Amino acid sequence: MLKDNIIEIERRIQAACDRAGRDRSEVTLIAVSKTKPVSMIREAYDCGMRHFGENKVQELAQKYEALQDAFAEDIYWHQIGHLQRNKVKSVMDKAVLIHSVDSLRLALQIEQEAAKKDLLCDILIEVNVSGEESKFGVSVEEALPLIQEVVKLAHIRVRGLMTIAPNSEKPEKNREYFKKMRELYVDIKTKNIDNDDNEKIWDKSANGSPTKENLECNFSSYFNILSMGMTGDFEVAIEEGATMVRVGTGIFGDRQYYRE
């Protein structure tokens, strides 16, 4: 089942890229493995999946430990769920990317923990583009001011933006939100917001992130991720410029609770 699901998701990603005139290599597929057992992650890995997303820090840490010895070289974990400040320490050296930074307080906590381990932590700023009260994230207007503060932190690299669009049975309804995110992403990317007085710890990444040797150090070069689109609407997100899509149900099926 998993193999067939992944093949179908890949087919749909390719079709969306074709419609948008984009290359398939521009889009990273993250298999959202929350609540799924390690056995299913192993199966997905055997089918070619390398990027996995988790909502809860504890679950990510457990799966990281369970799979690290076998797949350490090319399995990448993404913290995609809301991150509490008291959980930062546990995810610091395990997640290749934290998708859900939505406050300076959280960024400062990440900076503090990263400094202790002399790591460079890659993050995305979560934007509540729809303005729904039930969702986390900064407003569209707050995104740039937050980034301008976070880039001053020596052990953090702001790689881009993330959003969760409204849950809708009609994916086309979310196009306006994805388009708005792309416009925000492009606008921020073109800003000259590098902090020249700050010496980043570019070569200390120990969590799979690109290091100084293979990623340029100016903001417009490393600010290159737009994480948006899930099982129900990832095709529209790709058409509007997503560089990462997060697919759970479309790959693993309906939610089941992790017991391993």
pTM of the entire predicted model: 0.90
d(C-alpha 215, C-alpha 159), whole Å:
11
Task: Report yes or no on 259 lying in a domain.
Answer: no
Local confidence band at 200 (pLDDT 50, 70, 90 cut-offs): low
Residue 247, domain CATH: 3.20.20.10
d(C-alpha 234, C-alpha 1), whole Å:
20
Look at residue 212 and tell me whether its pLDDT is greater than 50. Answer: no
Look at residue 129 and tell me whether its pLDDT is greater than 60. Answer: yes
Local confidence band at 71 (pLDDT 50, 70, 90 cut-offs): confident
Task: Report yes or no on 245 lying in a domain.
Answer: yes
Task: Report yes or no on 257 lying in a domain.
Answer: no
User: According to the model, what pLDDT value does residue 52 have?
Assistant: 98
Burial of 20 (0-12, 13-18, 19+ CB in 10 A): middle
Q: What percent of the chain has pLDDT over 70?
A: 88
pLDDT in tens, 80-105: 999 999 999 999 999 999 999 999 99
Between the CA of residue 7 and those of 1, 53, 227, what are the distances in Å?
10, 19, 21
d(C-alpha 18, C-alpha 62), whole Å:
38
Task: Report yes or no on 173 lying in a domain.
Answer: yes
Q: Which residues pair with 156 in a beta bridge?
A: 121
User: According to the model, what pLDDT value does residue 108 have?
Assistant: 98
The helix, strand and coil proportions of the chain, stated in percent and rounded to the nearest 5, come to: 45, 15, 40
Look at residue 214 and tell me whether its pLDDT is greater than 60. Answer: no
Number of domains in the chain: 1
Task: Report yes or no on 111 lying in a domain.
Answer: yes
Task: Report yes or no on 256 lying in a domain.
Answer: no
Alpha helices in the chain (DSSP H): 2-20, 38-46, 57-71, 88-91, 104-117, 140-150, 175-189, 219-222, 234-239, 249-252
**What's the mean pLDDT when you consider all of the chain?**
90
Q: Which domain holds residue 209?
A: 2-251
User: According to the model, what pLDDT value does residue 211 have?
Assistant: 43
Task: Report yes or no on 258 lying in a domain.
Answer: no
d(C-alpha 178, C-alpha 140), whole Å:
12
pLDDT in tens, 32-60: 999 999 999 999 999 999 999 999 999 99
Burial of 166 (0-12, 13-18, 19+ CB in 10 A): middle
Instruction: For residue 115, give every residue at least 6 positions away whose Cβ sits within 8 Å of its Cβ, in sequence order, or none.
Output: 154, 155
Task: Report yes or no on 15 lying in a domain.
Answer: yes
